[in-house]
Amino acid sequence: MYRICGKKRLSGSIRVQGSKNAALPMLAASLLCKGCVVLHNCPKILDVYAMLSILKHLGCYVKWEDNTVVICTDGLFSCKVPKKYAGAMRSSVMLLGPLLGRVGCADLAWPGGCMIGARPVDIHQMALKQMGVRFESSKNCIFAACRGLYGAVVRLPFPSVGATENVIMAAVLAEGTTVLKNAAREPEIITLCKFLRAMGARISGEGTETIYIEGVKSLKEAEYAIPSDRIVMGTYLMAVLGTGGEVFLEGDCAGCLAAPLLLARKTGARIQERKQGLKVFMEEPSHVPIQAVTAPYPGFPTDLQSPLLALMAVSGHICTIKETIFESRFATAGELKKMGADIRIEGQKACVYGKQTLEGADVSASDLRGGAALILAGLFAEGVTTVHNASHIRRGYEHIETDLRMLGADIDAVGSH
């Protein structure tokens, strides 16, 4: 658990960790290469450890060297991912494309992860069926197989990040050309495509709604650096807005935060976007009304909705946020209410009657970003806040207590986490 004593102004400089949402598909994509892949700046978080455990279970060799991970896939001997591994995280579903491309089958226990909504895999299945994949699903697992993947024109009904990644990874070794329409445009999609090109894939159009993938016979070994985590940087940005202070966030992802930065400037923050990172100056904690709607990139990211909810709770004004991606992402509101927040949920919209401060309390994280939001609430609150179920937060934040402590926060990780 985490123990936070709030009302400390933040100042200083920290380096933002490697991106979770970029690292996981890149780790999955390593299966497409019969050889070794080297990934630098890989975050040491629970979701990455879970993905590496899956790769080792499938027969791969994995070695850490500081924050560099080496994956050698020559020994791949299985396409079966049991519940012990798949149940640890939602991202196990992105092994579908790489396993189908490499060995022509994938046998996955149903993926686990955060309880933030249904997050169905039917979009993945619909898209891959058009490329020659047949599925057999039960309440326990998803089995997929093909006699060979072939290119197709695939249009996603929604720009799902995971489905976009799965189609791209399946298509790179497919016969012919795949045209993926209504594709997700997130920066992590661009990173995955650049990484696959480094391995010899032929891909164009990433970052737009239409991506073209021309299948190749095989991929080669590659070495690549994972970019900084824009959601972690956005979380720390929200922290400064709610505490006041002057902070430099070192990382190469500031250009991917246009929507959060626009919101931050509306709260009164002075922000300098630099090549090396983000300089944030907030003279006093934010006390302005805030309105936001989550949306696929380049809109306001759903992964920052919960941290923003914590900021709204101390705004001193009526604020609203509409969630358009995940239907159960307001679960954190109940825990924030324990700290005195006045939040009213109406379907997919939250109306927050912001106060000047919150009161420290014992609260529990039920998902990754909600857990980070509770830590932020603790920073904004009077007295001591204890956040339980820290393992949710460790799924995506490498050392959140160390980072915040370096900026002057009074926070400690206590006991098992």
**Which sequence spans correspond to the domains of the chain?**
2-16+228-413, 20-225
Q: State the amino acid at position 308 in one-letter form.
A: L
pTM score: 0.96
The pLDDT value recorded for residue 244 is 97
The pLDDT value recorded for residue 139 is 79
pLDDT along the chain (417 residues), means of 10: 98 98 98 97 96 96 97 96 80 93 94 52 94 90 94 96 97 98 98 98 98 98 98 98 98 97 97 96 94 97 97 97 85 96 95 97 96 98 97 96 98 80
If one counts every other C-beta atom within 10 angstroms of the C-beta of residue 396, the result is 27
Q: Nearest-5° angle of CA 379, CA 302, CA 9?
A: 20
Q: Are 303 and 268 contacting, i.e. CB atoms less than 8 angstroms apart?
A: no
**Letter string b/e over residues 318-334, b meaning 16 or more CB atoms within 10 A of that residue's CB:** ebbbbbebbeebbbbbe
Q: Are 387 and 409 contacting, i.e. CB atoms less than 8 angstroms apart?
A: no
Q: Which of 60, 114, 193, 319 is catalytic?
A: 114
* CA distances for 121 relative to 29, 91, 92, angstroms: 18, 11, 11
198 burial class (0-12, 13-18, 19+ CB within 10 angstroms)?
middle
If you classify domain 2-16+228-413 with CATH, what class do you get? alpha beta
DSSP-H helix ranges across 92-140:
96-103, 122-129
- Based on the residue annotation, tell me whether 114 is a catalytic residue of this protein: yes
Q: Are 53 and 223 contacting, i.e. CB atoms less than 8 angstroms apart?
A: no
* The domain over range 20-225 is classified in CATH as 3.65.10.10: yes
Q: Are 307 and 376 contacting, i.e. CB atoms less than 8 angstroms apart?
A: yes
Interatomic CA distance for residues 315 and 263, integer angstroms? 13
Domains 2-16+228-413 and 20-225 share a fold: yes
- Tokens 């594709």 correspond to what residue? 183
Q: Are 164 and 97 contacting, i.e. CB atoms less than 8 angstroms apart?
A: no
DSSP assignments along 208-223, one per residue: SSEEEEE--S-B--EE
Q: State the amino acid at position 107 in one-letter form.
A: D
Backbone angles phi, psi at 398, to 5 degrees: -70, -45
The pLDDT value recorded for residue 112 is 61
The pLDDT value recorded for residue 117 is 44
Give strand pairing partners of 32.
Answer: none
Assigned token pair, 19: 């991106």
